């Protein structure tokens, strides 16, 4: 059975007619509709100090989504862990776990934009140490026993429903990230499919005696929209998809790998590349048959400030004409 997920980052670039006041309610309405009509999951992201207002606060957004849904699995990917106070974060995530009934999971990462660290007064060169400290504090705090950390007495009295800890995965693209996931006994969620990095995680888990190591593959890397007329839809939303691509490309540092990077510099190049795909319902069904049990349909309905009416067109068409044929 194919897996259908949608992603929200709530960008509102100046050229889009959709403002944040339009996009946030639309995301909640779309998620509720998805929950009621056979979709599997929704994902939110996190970035800071982006001109288009990229979603900066995934935890309250997940709580809002949890309040509007009943079955939909909810994920933050990735939560930029070193930017948080780990004690307060442990409490917030416990509350999120409680209000969602354990439906939320987190992929935590360090991020790759020094500007974000500067904004929060965090040292870019110490991000690895901060990441380790945050993971240690989270795992200890959720046990509910008092402990001392950095001169602070920590006693978390509101515990999550999911014990010993809410579902948390360690992201990363390099071997150091794989070793960190193994060291904390966490599932590894690489953002790119690099065999040597995945093997590093499995080898380290074996060395450390981690039982049942888990690798969550990043999926096909394709973003899907559904349309009865792809040419028309490309003309309508192409500029929003390109905005997303150009923004991520501007953050990419030399030698970095990223699942969201595309070399496309105009709409024609983006369409030809084939990662952002606008497919007819029949093409979606054919894709599901071709990929078999591993078929995933990752949708990005409000990508780059796409107006909600155009997002709804894709979501409703996929729901009504694809899901019944691939379930």
Per-residue pLDDT tens over the stretch 257-281: 677 788 999 999 999 999 999 999 9
Q: What is the pLDDT of residue 259?
A: 73
As a CATH number, domain 3-166+219-326 is 3.20.20.30
Split at pLDDT 50, 70, 90, the class of 191 is confident
**Helix and strand tally (H, E) in the chain?**
12, 11
Q: Mean per-residue pLDDT for 196-212? A: 97
Q: What proportion of the chain, given as a percentage, has pLDDT over 90? A: 93
Q: What is the pLDDT of residue 273?
A: 96
φ, ψ for residue 107, nearest 5 deg: -105, 120
Q: Is residue 1 predicted with pLDDT exceeding 90?
A: no
Q: What is the pLDDT of residue 294?
A: 85
**pLDDT tens digits along 286-299:** 999 999 988 999 99
- Do 58 and 84 contact (CB within 8 A), yes or no? no
Q: What is the pLDDT of residue 212?
A: 93
**Look-up: residue for tokens 């001169």?**
151
Supply the angle between the helices 127-141 and 175-183 in degrees, to the nearest 10.
20
**pLDDT tens digits along 221-270:** 899 999 999 999 999 999 999 999 999 999 988 766 677 788 999 999 99
User: What is the average pLDDT value for the chain, to the nearest integer?
Assistant: 96
Helix or strand holding residue 91 (H, E): helix 86-99
Say which residue, 150 or 219, is predicted with more confidence: 150
**pLDDT tens digits along 124-155:** 999 999 999 999 999 999 999 999 999 999 99
**pLDDT tens digits along 155-164:** 999 999 999 9
Q: Residue 42: which of 54, 20, 26, 53 has the closest Cα?
A: 26
Q: What is the pLDDT of residue 268?
A: 98
* Structure tokens, 252: 């990419």
- Do 37 and 73 contact (CB within 8 A), yes or no? no
Q: What is the pLDDT of residue 270?
A: 97
- Domain extent listing, the chain: 3-166+219-326
Q: What is the pLDDT of residue 135?
A: 98
Q: Is residue 192 predicted with pLDDT exceeding 90?
A: no
Q: What is the pLDDT of residue 257?
A: 63
- Say what the alpha-carbon torsion angle 57, 110, 270, 40 is, to the nearest 10 degrees: -60
Report the distance separating Cα 132 and Cα 134, nearest Å: 5
Report the distance separating Cα 100 and Cα 102, nearest Å: 5
Q: What is the pLDDT of residue 229?
A: 98
Q: Mean per-residue pLDDT for 170-176? A: 94
Q: Mean per-residue pLDDT for 48-77? A: 98
Q: What is the pLDDT of residue 293?
A: 85
């Amino acid at each position: 059975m194919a897996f259908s997920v949608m992603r929200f980052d709530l960008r509102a670039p100046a050229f889009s007619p959709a403002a944040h006041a339009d996009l946030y309610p639309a995301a909640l309405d779309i998620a509720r509709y998805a929950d009621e009509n056979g979709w599997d999951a929704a994902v939110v992201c996190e970035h800071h100090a982006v001109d288009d207002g990229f979603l900066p606060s995934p935890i309250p957004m997940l709580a809002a989504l949890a309040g509007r849904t009943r079955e939909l699995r909810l994920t933050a990917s990735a939560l930029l862990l070193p930017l948080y106070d780990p004690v307060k974060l442990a409490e917030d995530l416990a509350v999120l776990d409680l209000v969602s009934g354990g439906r939320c999971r987190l992929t935590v990462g360090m991020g790759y934009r020094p500007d974000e660290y500067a904004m929060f007064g965090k040292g870019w060169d110490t991000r690895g140490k901060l990441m380790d400290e945050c993971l240690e504090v989270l795992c200890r705090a959720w046990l509910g026993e008092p402990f001392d950390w950095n001169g602070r007495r920590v006693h978390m009295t509101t515990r999550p429903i999911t014990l010993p800890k809410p579902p948390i995965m360690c992201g990363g693209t390099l071997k150091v990230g794989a070793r960190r996931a193994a060291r904390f006994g966490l599932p590894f969620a690489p953002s790119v499919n690099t065999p040597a990095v995945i093997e590093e995680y499995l080898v380290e888990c074996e060395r450390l005696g981690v039982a049942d190591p888990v690798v969550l593959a990043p999926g096909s890397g394709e973003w899907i929209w559904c349309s009865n007329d792809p040419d028309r839809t490309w003309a309508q939303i192409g500029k929003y998809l390109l905005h997303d691509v150009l923004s991520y490309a501007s953050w990419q540092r030399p030698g970095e790998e990223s699942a969201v990077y595309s070399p496309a510099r105009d709409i024609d190049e983006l369409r030809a590349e084939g990662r952002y795909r606008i497919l007819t319902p029949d093409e979606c069904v054919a894709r599901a048959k071709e990929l078999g049990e591993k078929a995933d349909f990752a949708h990005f309905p409000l990508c780059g400030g796409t107006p909600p009416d155009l997002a709804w067109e894709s979501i409703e068409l996929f729901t009504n004409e694809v899901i019944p044929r691939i379930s």
